[in-house]
Structure 1
Amino acid sequence: MASWDEALTAVLDQHGTSLYAYGRILTGSTADSEDLVHDAIVRVFARMKSRPARLGARSGTDVTTAMVPGATAAYVRRAMLTIYIDQTRRAKRWRAIRHAAATAESLPDHADEAASRSAIAAALSSLSPQQRACLLLRYYDDLTTLQIADALGLAHGTVKRHLHDALSRLRDDGAAMALWSPGEPAARGEEAHRG
């Protein structure tokens, strides 16, 4: 009795090249052809293996010994055609209905944020280094004016003056509003040089 492996090897040795060529003609692609041959072989051999008694009962012999590589290759070729037609129909049906299943992909528009960041960067670059340092320590590190004065080694009044001048310049440039989150009042800047 020949094994399934031997039968498969015999089919591929004798008819593998023609099966792959047939697949390339159907699909137009080498990779798709290989997938098609693989799927067809699995289908044919699984079907033959799952029904050995029924197939063997017709001829009175075991199915694996009755398998002739040429006849089996014909079954594989027919299975390839069937699989290809089924895939083509499924793809056509999918193209017809995929718009119903598709969800609208809405990507957030970050143009405003990018423009705001660009405006902030330009406005901050127009400040003196000390004004920028005071502003960043006050609003990003949330330090008081006394803590900023200690950190930078400046007088308390000088820190207040730098903060006032920086905020005035940012307001003139229109970038001050972008520094605060929507829920935070812009008046915080007025309190900065007082406290």
Structure 2
Amino acid sequence: MSWEADLDRLVTDRGPALVAYAYLLVGDMASAEDLVQDALVRTYSRRRPEEITWVEAYVRRTILHTFLDGYRAKTRFAAVTPLVATPEAVDDEASVAGDRADVARALTTLSPRERACVVLRFYDDLTLPEIGLRLDISAGAVKRYLSDARHKLEPLLGPQPGLAAEDVATITKGGAR
């Protein structure tokens, strides 16, 4: 099968899941779709792997790194821009539909690293060491980002016992701790 057919199958079968993953990171559907598109272009411009499951994992990782790189670029640009206008937050209560909308809005209050850690922990269901490997940070830093995220999310969403980093066992090379 050609790489074009693999790409078509990936987009057809897993496209909505990839967009949902990107949406959790960026909080905007149009930006999420753009992020997935950028990740697909980056993935298929460099490699043409054979196995579809590996490609999806690679695309997810590319989505994450593209999101973090984009945030860094925006903050650098904002630092050199003389006039910075911040958009006003507008709450349209008619469009808020339950917990998903509340969580999506609450995630926007987190820094990119905090948000990435929360998404990787609770959406991808990764352990702390796995998150650390994905983000190239230590498991302790992951714990700190999850702790900071909990403190920011609790006033908005109520107590979140699943976000307590101390509840998650850290796996070391010698065994569980």
TM-score after normalising by structure 1: 0.41
More helix by share: 1
Q: Flag the structure with larger Rg.
A: 1
TM-score after normalising by structure 2: 0.45
